[in-house]
Amino acid sequence: MLAGIVFSPFTPGPAVREAHTFQIVAEVGVVFLMFSIGLEFSVAELLKVKWVSLVGAPLGVVLLSLMGEGVGALLGWGALRGLVVGMIISVASTMVLSRLLLDSGQLQSAHGKVMIAITLVEDLIVVALTILMPTLASLSPHHLLGVALSLGKAALILAPIGFLAVYLVPRWLARVARSQNKELFLLVILAICLGTAALTEAVGLSLALGAFAAGLIISASEYAHQALEQMLPLRDAFVALFFVTVGVLINPRAVLREPALLLAILGLVVVGKFVVWTGVTKLFRYPWRTAVLVGTGLTQIGEFSFILVQVAHANNLLGDEFYHATLAASLLSILVNATLVRTVPRCIGAARA
Please, which pLDDT band fits residue 134 given cuts at 50, 70 and 90?
A: confident
pLDDT at 353: 43
Between residues 147 and 324, the one the model is more confident about: 324
Q: CA–CA distance from 141 to each of 138, 179, 349 (Å)?
A: 10, 57, 54
Residue 346 has pLDDT above 50, yes or no: yes
pLDDT at 251: 83
The mean per-residue pLDDT over the stretch 68-85 comes to: 92
Can you tell me the distance from the alpha carbon of 5 to that of 13, in angstroms, rounded to the nearest whole number?
11
Q: Which one of 2.130.10.10, 1.10.287.470, 1.20.1530.20, 3.40.30.10 gives the CATH number of domain 2-138+146-347?
A: 1.20.1530.20
| Alpha helices (H) along 76-109 | 79-89, 94-103
The mean per-residue pLDDT over the stretch 190-211 comes to: 77
Can you tell me the distance from the alpha carbon of 3 to that of 248, in angstroms, rounded to the nearest whole number?
8
All structural domains of the chain with their residue ranges: 2-138+146-347
Between residues 39 and 301, the one the model is more confident about: 301
b or e along 226-258 (b: 16 or more beta carbons within 10 Å of the residue's beta carbon)? bbbebbeebbeebbebbbbbbbbbbbeebbeeb
Share of the chain above pLDDT 70, in %: 86
Residue 116 has pLDDT above 70, yes or no: yes
b or e along 119-153 (b: 16 or more beta carbons within 10 Å of the residue's beta carbon)? bbbbbbbbbebbbbbbbbbeeeeeeeebeeebeeb
